[in-house]
Every structure is written in C-alpha cells, then in structure tokens.
Amino acid sequence: MRKITEIIIHCSATPAGRNVSVADIERWHRQRGFDSIGYHYVIHLDGKVELGRPVERVGAHCVGHNRHSIGICYIGGVDDRLHPTDTRTPAQRSSLRRLVADLKQRFPHASVYGHNEFAAKDCPCFDVRKEFMR
C-alpha cells in the first residue's frame, strides 16, 4: 500500500442538483489523457460514496500531490450560473465527514486539504480547513 499523507477534497464543478456518474467523470478524465478516473472516491447527491480509482493506485487529481494522497470528489460545486459555491447536500456533507473519518482512521498521519490549497482553483468551493480543523 502507498504511504498516504494527504486527503484532498474536490468538487466536480457541475451545477447544483445535476446528477453526474463515476462513468461521466471517467470519460471526462480519459478525454484529458488520464488512463482512468483520477479520484479515488466520488460522493453523489444522495450521499452514496462510490469508488473511483482504487486507493492502492496513485491518483490523478492534484499535480505534485498524487503519489501520497487520496482524492475525494463530491458532485456539484457551482451554481446554475457556474459560479463557485458550496452545493453539498446534507447527505453529501454527512458522507464526506464519515468518509474522511474512516480514511483518517486508516491513514492516521494524513491531513485533509481542499484542492484550492494546492492549485489556483476554487475547488472544492468550501473551506476545508475550517470544516476539518487541521
């Protein structure tokens, strides 16, 4: 197993309420030249957590950080005018907290970050530092 030191949270940058599948994200990532979906987990609008890329494989979600990280993506992140906003449903918030807690238990030395802490992006469109207190 890889040594995991970072858990990086992303959004799909899709409008609130729009259902997006793991297959959709995988197609987008393959169009960008990835060999599969770049995220390890995807959190759907109803809170269902779905596996993307196996955790044992290096992700493709945050340049310079993939080797030692796990990427989580929640569906949403922009409003209907494509402006960045926290669109997480209550179910997504709950599932994200639970998933992060599970991953922190499995990888106790991992810290939690938002993608925007490593790239000039708004993603994941909420303050990860505040929500997951480092």
Q: Is 115 inside any structural domain? A: yes
Q: Is 37 inside any structural domain? A: yes
Q: Is 23 inside any structural domain? A: yes
Can 68 be counted among the known catalytic residues? Answer: no
Q: Is 32 inside any structural domain? A: yes
Out of 39, 41, 74, 113, which one is annotated catalytic? 39
Decide if pLDDT at 30 tops 80: yes
> What's this model's pTM, rounded to 2 decimal places?
0.95
**Mean pLDDT of the 94-116 span:** 97
Can 44 be counted among the known catalytic residues? Answer: no
Give the pLDDT score at 133.
Answer: 77
Tokens representing residue 25 in the block: 């994200």
Report how far apart, in Å, the C-alpha atoms of 24 and of each of 31, 49, 108, 126 are: 11, 15, 32, 23
Question: What is the domain extent for residue 18?
Answer: 6-131
Q: Is 1 inside any structural domain? A: no
Model confidence over 84-101: pLDDT tens digits? 999 999 999 999 999 999
CA distance 59 to 72: 10
> Looking at residue 22, which CATH number applies to its domain?
3.40.80.10
Query: How many domains is the chain partitioned into structurally?
Result: 1
Can 10 be counted among the known catalytic residues? Answer: yes
